[in-house]
Amino acid sequence: MTTRALPAGPPASQGVDASGVHAFLDALETDPEIEPHSLMIMRHGSLVASGWWAPYTAERPHLLYSLSKSFTSTAAGFAVAEGLLDLDTPVLSYFPEFDADITDPRSRAMLVRHVASMASGHEAETLDRARALDPDELVRGFLRIPPDRDPGTVFAYNQPTTYTLATIVQRLTGQSLTDYLRPRLFDRIGIGEVAWLRDRAGRDLGFSGLHATTDAILRLGQLYLGGGIWDGRRVLPESWVAEATRPHTANDDGPMGGEDWRQGYGLQFWMSRHGYRGDGAYGQFCLVLPEQDAVIATTAATVAMQKLLDMVWTHLLPAFRPGPLSGREAADAALAQRLAGLALPPAVGTPAPQGWTSVAFDSDWISAEVTATADGHRLTLVEDGERLELRLADSGWSIAEEPVPTAVSGGWTDAGTLEVEVIFLETPHRLAVTCSLPDRTCTARWRTQPLHPRRLLRMGAPRRSA
């Protein structure tokens, strides 16, 4: 489908001081713990700033990790509005075939509301235990784990709760989350192609795995900021927006993250010191700021997620002024120019040494082959017999779309060492590969560890890499 462009205007026209955005960009780009991938800012319904750090681009989907949960929440909101789903119905009632297996009274008393608000009664994550109990049916494995307390009394960030909610919606609708949301959400607010990882049962994961653009993140946030209204028309019930974005479960003593992970939890949305948000591992954020009438969307690769939020509060919040700013044309133009030129620095190295054409390297989980070519050299990574061939140019990023979207840079740091960075462009992840010519070995390590273990040839949005 063709998506309709968001209304846009210069920052000053919406009371946004460009100097604050510059300060935020400075903070991002000088912090070694944060690799930014994209930024979009909307205020008063107008897109005032957007940029992607090359080789990331606007049109590419990006793995959102747990930001997927807020889209699952939205699917549940539609199911409630259509009379299909009741938050105050026991979870087990939607799985009658499990009835004889689930004997713990707390599990039997668990309501849909409890799994939607991370209040199942368990005191810790249950994903690994649930999978071990039932590898083929995660919901049954989850319900077989007796909650530590009564449901509704304790918060624990717990993937099977969201998976259970997502499974209920998919059962009730007879559709995947993606197909259910397409006519109700995606088409109505202008979200283009998305793709969701599925489990062995063929279900969209719900708790993670959604690949979508930064634009899609921003549009979801703007829909919630508008109380469910998009372009003057009701899309999502206002009652669901209010219910999903209020605190349901206290988490002020929780072990996760920093201060912004202790402000309460809604229905698959986090409360923040300012506004509320959907968020995913490594810096995928949808920040909704009702007091500022603003939405901020980011994608990134960082474990320092609280630090990234602190930068937003420090630099972007003060940039939101009460009214339009005059005489800022030059400042707005300079910001637009900077945003258009954002880029991640490529790894550097020298061209291949003379005197060889092809060398094989061994390692523990990936082997490598390096072959000299007329325009640089080719690096082939071999994982369990599967070959990923990558072109390594003499400088800059080398972009490939097949068999999985990648960007590659690097070179020889000395006569015997090849160092290469491989970015998987539809994820937050990059792989650092070092090959040693003297001993014919290589090492490969993730800069940020993928949370969904997949082969290299499948490190992209599912439809692209299938």
Domain map (residue ranges) of the chain: 11-82+167-340, 358-465
Instruction: Report how far residue 95's alpha carbon sits from residue 144's, in angstroms, rounded to the nearest whole number.
Output: 13
Instruction: Report how far residue 238's alpha carbon sits from residue 226's, in angstroms, rounded to the nearest whole number.
Output: 9
Return the SS3 of 136: coil
Total-model pTM: 0.96
What pLDDT shows up at residue 464? 45
CA within 13 Å, CB half, 52: 13
Asked if 357 and 372 count as a contact pair (C-beta separation under 8 A), the reply is: yes
What pLDDT shows up at residue 243? 98
Asked if 283 and 302 count as a contact pair (C-beta separation under 8 A), the reply is: yes
Q: How many helices (H) and strands (E) does the chain have?
A: 14, 20
What pLDDT shows up at residue 254? 65
What tens digit of pLDDT does each residue of 330-366 get? Answer: 999 999 999 999 999 999 887 766 666 677 777 778 8
Name which of 325, 309, 367 is nearest 44 in CA terms: 325
Phi, psi of 443, rounded to the nearest 5 degrees = -125, 145
Instruction: Report how far residue 199's alpha carbon sits from residue 170's, in angstroms, rounded to the nearest whole number.
Output: 13
Q: H/E/C letters for each residue in 352-393?
A: CCCCCCEEEEECCCCEEEEEEECCEEEEEEEECCEEEEEEEC
Which residue reads 């049916």 in tokens? 137
Return the SS3 of 426: coil
Name which of 110, 130, 109 is nearest 118 in CA terms: 110
Take residue 280 and report the two structure tokens written for it: 């995913």
Instruction: Report how far residue 91's alpha carbon sits from residue 73's, in angstroms, rounded to the nearest whole number.
Output: 16
- Which amino acid is present at 326? S
Which residues of the chain register pLDDT less than 70?
Answer: 1-3, 254-255, 352-357, 464-466
Q: Domain 11-82+167-340 in CATH: superfamily?
A: DD-peptidase/beta-lactamase superfamily (3.40.710.10)
Show the CA angle centred on residue 320, arms to residues 242 and 17, nearest 5°.
155
Instruction: Report how far residue 268's alpha carbon sits from residue 73's, in angstroms, rounded to the nearest whole number.
Output: 6
Query: Looking at the domain 358-465, which fold is it?
Result: Lipocalin (2.40.128)
What tens digit of pLDDT does each residue of 129-172 get? Answer: 999 999 999 999 999 999 999 999 999 999 999 999 999 999 99
